[in-house]
Structure formats: C-alpha cells, structure tokens
Copies of this chain bind each other. A is one copy, B any other.
C-alpha cells in the first residue's frame, strides 16, 4: 500500500509518517518504480502502536524504548513497568497542577461577575497581585495549550 492508505488505516497524516521515518521510528520502506513508499501490514501495526502510545501522551523517546522491548522479547520487561510507572507519575502530577490551576482561575473569575470598567476589573486586579501558591516543580508535563492529537482541527487554531 502507499503512504496515503497507511495514513488512513492508522489515523495519522502523511507528513507525520514521513516524519517518523526520518526520526527512525518507522523503518525505511521499499519503493515502487515511481519512487513511492510501499508499506505492508507490519507497518500498519507498528504505526498504530506508535499512535496508541502517543494518544497516551508518551514521548517519542519513550515509545522508542517500548518498541525496542517489543523487538527483543527475551529481555526482562521490568523496564517497561518502570517507564509506565514514571509516565503515570507525570500524568498524575500534571492533573494535580491543573486542578490547582482550575481553582485559581475560577477564584479569579468570580472577582468580576459582570462587565465593568477595566479600571475596576477584579480579574486584572487579581492578576496584578501575587496568587502563585508556590513554584511549580519540574516534570515532563506540558501546559494547557494545543493538544497533541488534535488532528481534526487542522488550520483552525492560531
């Protein structure tokens, strides 16, 4: 099959597939006479695995590790557990941060229930004073903007 069909089957877009190839996540495929990439069922499976991991917000590096374990089945999978535990930790931590964030934003929002002058806007006043409850700690957890797998939103945002 050609790249377009692989993309359809795995719910990816074509550029992403070529990007994964450049990045070493997908093997370099055979080419047709017209220089088109030719894929097989194994590629569909590998790409689907990658996309499933991405939908769980794993980094490409984490996925690389998992792919390695898939390919060397004799190795002990304690590392797989460790990777997943760490990843769950990141997700949990990010959720706690977002909960705190939501609370602060709602507090802020209540300061200005109705439209008034910006001169007396409780929101701007609130943002001008210290609210931060403490410095955020490090994590491999990102912010609140532009979800990774938002492929149905191409070109609308921004």
CA distance A76 to B114 in the complex (A): 10
Which A residues, 94 to 128, have Cβ-Cβ distances below 8 Å to chain B?
94-95, 97-99, 101-102, 104-106, 108-109, 112, 115-119, 121, 123-124, 127-128
CA distance A16 to B128 in the complex (A): 20
Most buried by B among A74, A75, A119, A131: A119
Q: Which of B53, B75, B121, B145 contacts A127 (CB 8 A)?
A: B53
CB of A115 within 8 A of CB of B81, answer: yes
CB of A121 within 8 A of CB of B80, answer: yes
CB of A95 within 8 A of CB of B90, answer: no
5 residue pairs from A and B, CB less than 8 Å apart: A73-B119, A84-B123, A136-B147, A141-B143, A142-B145
